[in-house]
Structure 1
Amino acid sequence: MNDMTLRQIEVIRAVMLTGTISGAAGLLNVSAPGISRLVKHTEETLGIRLFERKAGVFIPSVEASRVFDQVREVYRQVESLNAAVSSLKCGEDVRLSFATAPSIAQFIAARVLQKVRGVYGDLFVDMNVLKIEETVDYLLLERGEFVIMSSPVKNAAIENEEIAEGRLVAILPEGHELSQKEKVSASDLAREPVIGVDPNDPYGALLAKPFVQAGIEINHAMRGRFAQTVVSLVRHGLGVAVIDEFSVAEVYMPGLVRRPLVEDVPIKSYVTRKKGRVLSRFAEDSINHFRRQLERAVKDGPWYRAQK
């Protein structure tokens, strides 16, 4: 007995479902004579009668019951395969794990996930917020696929790719006298209570750069560990600060005024990943969205407009 082709299996199933040659032809969108010839050829090849013809209706024969059982099983497996592919396309039964620096997490990451979930509606997302010193373990232990950071990670097993460049900006409480200026200098800020991050921290060292450029020794009135903390303290009128523009990349931030700095200090964003790791499609798409959203934050931000 010869093997059946997938086309023969497809035709036999169509006849099983519809009970007629014309019905099978309509189901498969082919001509009825072609279906009839293929059924006859299959029966001759297999050496068994697949269907009994009664009053123009094709009824599966008893002797071919095992064949039809296998045909049903093949189609169940095909349907399962199609369902699995469909699930992958829309993000079902899979997850996306990644992390970002605190400065990216609040606004940029939310916009990225809005885009990603718009395509993969059922994708489970596990997003962590990490400091740079936590990144190596996170990636090398494969807790997540990638991390978005404001500094490159120095490790031989990690690769870094720059995806955006922004600027540091000044943030002031609403109504502060410095908000009358188009640009604010480090010396302006140094005369006020300055809120910052420990300069021994890589992110804190970056925020201190305008003061270093101006030759000013910075004396913090308050310190926080994360960008969000610094922003919150300023919004509550407790001082002024330098922050990266991505941390305040929101159109409406009541209680807060943002101004460009006289000192031009760039801040870059990097995607870091374990060398040699193949990223999922969800991760690749997310990184592309991060790139676009970071670029948009720079071009559409108030510092860009103020400097034009």
Structure 2
Amino acid sequence: MMTLRQVEVVRAVMVTGTIGGAAKLLNVSAPGISRLIKYTEKSLGIRFFQRQNGRYFPTPEARSIFEQINGVYKKVDDLTSTISAIGRGGLSELRIGSVPSISQVMVPRAVERVRRRYPDLHMDINILKLEEAIDYLLLDKGECVAMSYRLPHPGLEFQPLASGELYCIVPESHVLAGRDEISAAEMTRYPLIGIDPNDPYGRIMAEMFARNKLTYDITIRARFGTTVCALVKAGLGIAVIDQFTVAHGGVPGIALLRIAEPTRFDTYVAVKRGVPLSLHAESFIEYLRAEMRAVEPTRDARGLPRPRSRAAGRRK
């Protein structure tokens, strides 16, 4: 039986016609090629070449197996090409989902890093409501979903991404735009654009006002953070929004104010329980976690989360 190395060497001599040519083709020493040819002929009891005027010509026996050797070599070459394609993301598709708040800024930054690592990878990205994430994973429509909330479900597993907090956002021309921080009581003095209370961030906002026994008037209610930001930018009021939606200057035309009260929340990536993730999905989760943790708030002396600065998360 011939090894793949013997097949490779015999073919190289057949193609080049000389030991020296085969050595150059395979980037090895000529004596090594010569020794391997002699060993192969002796071990198999077949003479592969006749030497004439310094060149090596296949014997009739060798010609009869030359096509077989070429076929074996082509299969090895095809295998190498396939492995290389997989390493670049070819022949694969990454299907991922995200809730809107994480998809606005964080997901594109993670996807850009995945693309650099796997330039040939196809990707399918879905923006999902919280209630849509369950079917998306259980019906195998995608491998993972970035979530702003942990759902109790026996068929799903949740891995931590990062912690965050809420900001108050105002138009850049607003009287509050020059402030660094604002309290919940101060926010009630201005028209307030509210997130749907069924949204995790909406619940945090409502609980913040309830803890302080504050009454407030939601003049406009919206479901998604991108809509809230657009309404604020249009001068229709101020709002409370999660930090990941507005990270890295993702929404120009608004100013960010820290909220004096604690508004910490945790984010997760959900996957189907018991189903192994692809290498590409694992890479996406790794990059997404790194991007989100790079802008998560630090903690102050009281142990409460504090963002690093008003410009936290802006790319330099």
Q: TM-score, normalised by structure 1?
A: 0.92
For residues 72 and 255 of structure 2, the distance between their equivalents in structure 1, rounded to whole angstroms, comes to: 65
Structure 1 residues 74 and 207, CA gap change in structure 2 (3 angstroms): farther
CA contact (8 A) 1:236 1:255 kept: no
2:169 counterpart letter in structure 1: I
Higher helix share: 1
| Aligned position for 2:309 | 305
2:258 counterpart letter in structure 1: P
Q: 2:120 is paired with a residue of what secondary structure? A: coil
**Alignment map for 1:142-221 (pairs within 5 Å):** 142-221=140-219
CA contact (8 A) 1:244 1:267 kept: no
Q: 2:182 is paired with a residue of what secondary structure? A: coil
| Aligned position for 1:227 | 225
- Structure 1, unaligned runs of 5 or more: none
For residues 296 and 234 of structure 1, the distance between their equivalents in structure 2, rounded to whole angstroms, comes to: 26
Post-superposition Cα deviations, 1:39-89, rounded to whole Å, max 9, x if no partner, equal: 233233333332232322112233322311111111111111111111111
| Larger mean Cα displacement after TM superposition, 45-54 or 90-99 | 45-54
Q: 1:96 is paired with a residue of what secondary structure? A: strand
For residues 217 and 151 of structure 1, the distance between their equivalents in structure 2, rounded to whole angstroms, comes to: 26
Q: 2:86 is paired with a residue of what secondary structure? A: helix
For residues 136 and 22 of structure 2, the distance between their equivalents in structure 1, rounded to whole angstroms, comes to: 56
Q: 1:160 is paired with a residue of what secondary structure? A: strand
| Aligned position for 2:65 | 67
Structure 1 residues 139 and 33, CA gap change in structure 2 (3 angstroms): same
Post-superposition Cα deviations, 1:92-140, rounded to whole Å, max 9, x if no partner, equal: 1211111111001111111111111111111111111111111111111
**Alignment map for 1:76-155 (pairs within 5 Å):** 76-155=74-153
For residues 270 and 66 of structure 1, the distance between their equivalents in structure 2, rounded to whole angstroms, comes to: 62
| Aligned position for 2:303 | none
CA contact (8 A) 1:43 1:50 kept: yes
CA contact (8 A) 1:209 1:265 kept: no
| Aligned position for 1:288 | 286
Q: 2:296 is paired with a residue of what secondary structure? A: helix
Q: 2:165 is paired with a residue of what secondary structure? A: strand
1:183 counterpart letter in structure 2: E
Post-superposition Cα deviations, 1:121-180, rounded to whole Å, max 9, x if no partner, equal: 111111111111111111111111111111012101111122211111100111212223
| Aligned position for 1:9 | 7
For residues 307 and 124 of structure 1, the distance between their equivalents in structure 2, rounded to whole angstroms, comes to: 34
Q: 2:81 is paired with a residue of what secondary structure? A: helix
2:243 paired with 1:245: yes
- Structure 2, unaligned runs of 5 or more: 299-305
| Larger mean Cα displacement after TM superposition, 227-236 or 188-197 | 188-197
For residues 250 and 145 of structure 2, the distance between their equivalents in structure 1, rounded to whole angstroms, comes to: 27
| Larger mean Cα displacement after TM superposition, 233-242 or 218-227 | 218-227
2:114 counterpart letter in structure 1: V
| Aligned position for 1:255 | 253
| Larger mean Cα displacement after TM superposition, 56-65 or 92-101 | 56-65
For residues 8 and 291 of structure 2, the distance between their equivalents in structure 1, rounded to whole angstroms, comes to: 47
For residues 252 and 151 of structure 1, the distance between their equivalents in structure 2, rounded to whole angstroms, comes to: 22
- Percent identity reads 43
